[in-house]
A and B are shown apart, each in its own frame.
Chain A
Amino acid sequence: MSHRLASLVLALVVTAFAATAASARTTAASPLTIYAAASLTQVFKALDPAPNYSFAGSNALETQIRNGAPADIFASAAPLNTQRLYKAGIVDKPVTFTANRLALIVPKSNPAGIRSIYDLRSKAVKLVVAAPAVPVGGYTLTVLRRMGLSGVLSKVVSRESDVKAVTGKVALGQADAGFVYVTDARPVSDQVTVVRIPAWAQPRVRYEIAVVSKSPNKAAARAWITMLQSSRGQTALENAGFLPVPKPST
């Protein structure tokens, strides 16, 4: 009795392992696994729904890839994260593929009455930002420093793990204001109002993409990046509000 039960359990375990191993092998063959900055969620999915995507803060994705996550491609919202992995020999040479700008968003109801960035200084406001290690969190600090508004950081009520979490908290009306990319405001434009940040205060937001060196799908991954750099990919990005790649001055 217990013997038969044991062999049944054993059979189940073996089948389960075989099944997962088989599925791992098939996924290695066809769809790409792309780890991408949260701000790329909508545009990448619309551009190509086929790959398996993992969207999160670029810093979290960097840590995951460093720890052996099975990504074929890493698209980061800041060069810092791709370059660190490149120097560690984990990804191939990264290329810049798009750019972005920051904006302040407030809920449509605008409970704190924010009409300009400078209102953050005078009004009682529940401000949400991304954590400093998240690219958009770092860019937010740059904007505030350039505008002489670093003092408003005392009004921050939450440091989120990626830009979509910031967007969500504002769109839900939980927070009074949040710093995101202009491209994040578009999908929720019926729930939020955009408060513009002057061009002189804008940080240089540059997105980099790289093939993961250990990827078994390197050819397909390189082809995907070429597609992204082609006019089809660039048009999709620009339609979503992203900026063209800046002239190579760096």
Chain B
Amino acid sequence: MLVLATGVALAFLVLPVVAIFARVPPGELLSALGTEAAKDALVVTVKTNLVSMALILAFGTPAAYWIATRELRLRDVVVTLVELPLVLPPAVAGIGLLAAFGRLGLLGGTMDALGIDIAFTQTAVVLAVTFVASPFYVRTAVAAFEAVDPALPAAARTLGAGPGRVFFRVALPLAAGGLGAGAALAFARGIGEFGATIMFAGSLEGRTQTLSLAIYEQFDLDFDVALAISALLVIVSGTVLLSVKLLTRWRSGSTTPIPFAPSTRTSS
């Protein structure tokens, strides 16, 4: 019974992924990826996600450290706010971004006065990706910093290290495995971003059309191209997931409970 249920579950999860590769032979897959639309989308996706990743790391790491190491009275509230975009439907994220940063949105007038117009730009794509992907990094990073043995930073402080030195030389290296895993998860979510992007940034080949948006457009133009881009995303996502597992295993220094990490680590 147990075996049967597992078999059904596995088959259900694996079948759609296998079907993507089964419908188009590898040779045609490659040539479809060589089309202008696919190449443009790849460039846009890589570019916007790298910028987004840099922002997430630069702001998310200190934020996570702060949440993890301070005795916050409203800790649950802060963590919930950070995690909210994780569970928000993408359409809600799109509407929210429009209501906040749209030309007629909350900050629209201010941005207009400053001469900033992000409508339909790659900046808008970066905002959408950052909004939906950053919680994946921050919540994993909080867990990673919390898992650092408090005796170690304390020891560093008694030896005369300042807060900056404690952060960079003690906490950061000890949490590195967890941070890497969080970054990988955020990246995987970011490259697949669709709903918020199409609502907030629009879709223009070579400018704002990411791989996911290209799949959507190619779906009724050239199904093979849509399949090829999907296959590419499956491979990238699979690689990211695998690297999360390897990262957490390789970095045996930290004992962070990380989602998607091998179960032996999380249970320890």
Contacts and interface: CB of A to CB of B under 8 A. Distances in A.
B220 A6 contact: no
Given A6-B5, A172-B98, A174-B98, A59 B204 contact: no
Nearest to B104: A173
A126 B221 CA distance: 25
Interface string B1-28: 1100100000000000000000000000
- Chain A: interface size category: 20 to 34
A59 B223 CA distance: 13
Contacts of A128: 120, 202
Contacts of A175: 119-120, 202
B120 A158 contact: yes
Given A133-B220, A172-B102, A159 B2 contact: no
Given A6-B1, A6-B2, A131-B217, A172 B104 contact: yes
B40 to A, nearest CB: 12
B205 interface: yes
Interface string B55-93: 000000000000000000000000000000000000000
A157 interface: yes
Contacts of A206: none
Contact of B103 (A6, A57, A157, A174): A174
Contacts of A59: 220
B14 to A, nearest CB: 19
B195 to A, nearest CB: 13
Nearest to B118: A174
Given A6-B5, A157-B202, A63 B120 contact: no
Interface in A158-204: 158-161, 169, 172-175
B245 interface: no
Contact of B202 (A3, A60, A133, A160): A160
A63 B220 contact: yes
A174 B217 contact: no
Given A157-B204, A159-B204, A173-B102, A3 B120 contact: no
Interface of B: 1-2, 5, 98, 102-104, 108, 119-120, 198, 201-205, 207-208, 216-217, 219-221, 223
Given A9-B5, A174-B120, 8 more contacts: A3-B1, A6-B5, A60-B219, A128-B120, A133-B221, A158-B120, A158-B203, A173-B108
7 contacts: A6-B1, A63-B219, A63-B223, A111-B103, A157-B208, A158-B204, A160-B202
* 8 cross-chain pairs, A with B, having the tightest CB-CB distances, nearest first: A158-B202, A157-B120, A63-B220, A173-B104, A6-B1, A173-B103, A174-B119, A59-B220
